[in-house]
Structure 1
Amino acid sequence: MAPSLSTISNSNTWDVKHFVVNEGHGVKGLADMGIQTLPKQYIQPVEERIDTSKVVAEEQSIPVIDLSNWNDPKVGKMICNAAEKWGFFQIVNHGIPMEVFEDIKDATHKFFGLTAEEKRKYSKEHSRTNNVRLGTSFTPQAEKALEWKDYLSLFYVSDEEAAALWPSACRDEALQFMRKTELVIKRLMESLMKGLNVKVVDEDRESLLMGSKRINLNYYPKCPKPELTVGVGRHSDVSTLTILLQDNIGGLYVRKLGCDTWLPVPPISGALVINIGDALQILSNGRYKSIEHRVIANGSNNRVSVPIFVNPKPNDVIGPIQEVLESGEKAMYKKVLYSDYVKHFFGKAHDGKDTVDFAKI
């Protein structure tokens, strides 16, 4: 029997976390009941909520880079400059058709529109593989306050595995989005390596930079009291690069490098948001910056976003690339097994950029 709204409001008498996490209803299950108050499990500490006094106007947001002429040296310099000074940028005129974006956004809504029973097949307890995982919040077992988000995480191994194990509601669209971004990812990585005087030539180097990929379908339901919670807490990604597709709702905020100011990342039709991950910060010995970012909850609309995380392979060892240190530059980071770094990240709640300290010398 579904709980009543009054029971949910008085969540001392009903286990919200069990309903959302263990039974697989997710935050969407709460939102679909039409709740008017926020369950206490989602009320974030004041310091973790967006302080509007520290948010600047959209006009001061991250760079937007036009990729219509890849061969122009100025484009490569703009990419590297953005990676050094901002850690985030948007790209336009990248050659990926708009219908690819619309298809994956529609597929995200379609998957999260399935019944809880159907979606539960992909939860940690029921999924046929660790490479396919339905989740909610970030790390519920480690969080003092939950985040207002559900997600489906798909680790890419092969088209064959995807055909067998990824949900049919979104499989083809997710694979298409990944394929269509391949060339853009490779060109971005080439530009970034050129800025470090590093050549991407052999298989080992390619593996280190982009040996594995994970695509997430993120769903942020309409929230009854968005000012009291977050969609995603403060963090930086563990990837080398993250390629993010936003819908037109908005809600992503980036911390400006070197200060406590937050910048909105306004949705731009046809654009992709690119950000540097911890792995590339480590590989570049701190030259390129992974930056804290967060997502606010929305009180008016359901929102979706689709990031592709481009990573080293789990068994790769990350540390400053040798060519970066050849000028005599001192290494800032030790060598770390990438899977150990990722395990450390997912073993705790979001905590800004504290994860990267795991690799500092």
Structure 2
Amino acid sequence: MGPNFNDANSLFKFVVQDGNGVKGLVDAGLSKVPHQYIQPPEERIEKQSASSTGLSPIDLSKLDGPDHDKVVEEIIGAAGNLGFFQVVNHGVPLELLESLKESAYSFFGQEPEKKAVYRKGSSPSQNVKYGTSFVPEKEKALEWKDYISMVYTNDDDALSYWPKECREVALEYLRTSLNMVKKILQVLIANLGVAEEDSNKTIDSLIGLKMVNMNYYPKCPNPELTVGVGRHSDLGSLTVLLQDGIGGLYVKLEEDKNGKNQGGWIEIPPINGALVINIGDTLQILSNGKYKSAEHRVRTTSTKSRVSIPIFTIPKPTEKIGPLPQVVERNGLARYREVVFEDYMKNFFGNAHDGKKSLNFAEI
């Protein structure tokens, strides 16, 4: 007898505990979304009501030329306003980006039992985790997403334990992206008044840990009722994201002090060959609020499954994060307290997605 998707316990066991994921539901011939995935009306994404950014991608190759200062201004402006921007000429080969998407489909296209070996508690490495949704045990409505998460410690570990379908290409993606991440962080940290001799030490602390995720959003029979990822900000320093051509990433505009911006949502459209960069909570705390970790979410689609592949750069768990003294001295008031990053992580991963409430943990 097959699982009863109308029964909450049966569905949870099938999707989460047995490792079939959302893809397992779709492959079972699901014709309508189970009620566990139906979002409350205020959380649903209306594609028609969102506007497009209309912002041109930033050409990172110009950082090394006569337009250096202009590109620096663009990066700083984007980090302080939207918290999201797209980059081209970033140094990551376009063929590699295509291979990444193919390898993601290769991994998620396997039989459920081959993916389920990486579930929490049974994975051969604590640094590799296959799962679904975000915190399924605590969510009022589940997210329409499966993922594989791979924490980087060293090359040997990655080549031994990351899934063979994607390990080499994911590792190359990480390697070739780090130079770009460091370039962007150098711009942002220098703007905060950090002396050049201290800049590298600060940057190293911000990217002490790296993680590559592959997200899979199966096509959904009722996309208007679901979300692929709920409203949240990222906890780390910088996130690098490869979108496929289907799109579905939405970022919230923060309300300004004059009340002109009502905090609407805008779509970050996929641009061929571009990578999306977004600011995480750690940089918002470090900059004492000068840089914004953008609230974002992902919609589902009924026409085709899609993938996205982010790299998360975060401090090591033992690192202390707090506003830089130079920034506090300039502002006269610290908005955040110093916290041990491991404590911040536990709070972040211990709660369902809920906008930018993760930042409350560090607020004074």
TM-score grouping bracket, smaller chain normalisation: over 0.9
The answer for the alignment partner of 2:329 in structure 1 is: 326
Identify if the C-alpha distance between structure 1 residues 195 and 24 changes in structure 2 by more than 3 Å, giving closer, same or farther.
same
Q: Contact 1:96/1:180 (CA < 8 Å) preserved in 2?
A: yes
CA distance in 2, matches of 1:204, 1:103: 33
CA distance in 2, matches of 1:296, 1:206: 33
Identify if the C-alpha distance between structure 1 residues 81 and 236 changes in structure 2 by more than 3 Å, giving closer, same or farther.
same
- 1:163 is matched with which residue: 159, 162, 173? 159
The root-mean-square deviation of aligned C-alpha atoms, in Å, is: 1.5
- 1:64 is matched with which residue: 49, 53, 57? 57
Counterpart secondary structure, 2:39:
coil
CA-to-aligned-CA distance 1:280-334 (integer Å, 9 cap, x gap): 0000000000011000011111000000001111110000012222335311100
Counterpart secondary structure, 1:216:
strand
Identify if the C-alpha distance between structure 1 residues 13 and 151 changes in structure 2 by more than 3 Å, giving closer, same or farther.
closer
Counterpart secondary structure, 2:148:
strand
Across the two proteins, how many residue pairs are aligned to each other? 354
Q: Contact 1:238/1:342 (CA < 8 Å) preserved in 2?
A: yes
Q: Contact 1:28/1:221 (CA < 8 Å) preserved in 2?
A: yes
Gaps of 5+ in 1: none
- 1:248 is matched with which residue: 242, 245, 258? 245
2:89 partner letter? N
CA distance in 2, matches of 1:288, 1:97: 29
The answer for the alignment partner of 1:305 in structure 2 is: 308
CA-to-aligned-CA distance 1:182-234 (integer Å, 9 cap, x gap): 11011000011121122464564233211111110000000010100100000
Summarize the alignment of residues 123-138 of structure 1 with structure 2, pairs less than 5 Å apart: 123-138=119-134
Q: Normalized against structure 1, the TM-score is what?
A: 0.94
The answer for the alignment partner of 1:49 in structure 2 is: 44
Q: Contact 1:87/1:275 (CA < 8 Å) preserved in 2?
A: yes
Gaps of 5+ in 2: 256-261
Q: Normalized against structure 2, the TM-score is what?
A: 0.94
The answer for the alignment partner of 1:105 in structure 2 is: 101
The answer for the alignment partner of 1:221 in structure 2 is: 218
Q: Contact 1:190/1:199 (CA < 8 Å) preserved in 2?
A: no
Offset, 1:12: 2.9
The percent identity for this pair of structures is 50
Runs of 4+ in 1 over 6 A off after TM superposition: none
Counterpart secondary structure, 1:89:
strand
Summarize the alignment of residues 240-319 of structure 1 with structure 2, pairs less than 5 Å apart: 240-258=237-255, 259-319=262-322
CA distance in 2, matches of 1:345, 1:327: 29
CA distance in 2, matches of 1:91, 1:121: 36
The answer for the alignment partner of 1:339 in structure 2 is: 342
The answer for the alignment partner of 2:234 in structure 1 is: 237
Offset, 1:274: 0.4
CA distance in 2, matches of 1:107, 1:53: 32
CA distance in 1, matches of 2:243, 2:331: 41
Summarize the alignment of residues 85-96 of structure 1 with structure 2, pairs less than 5 Å apart: 85-96=81-92
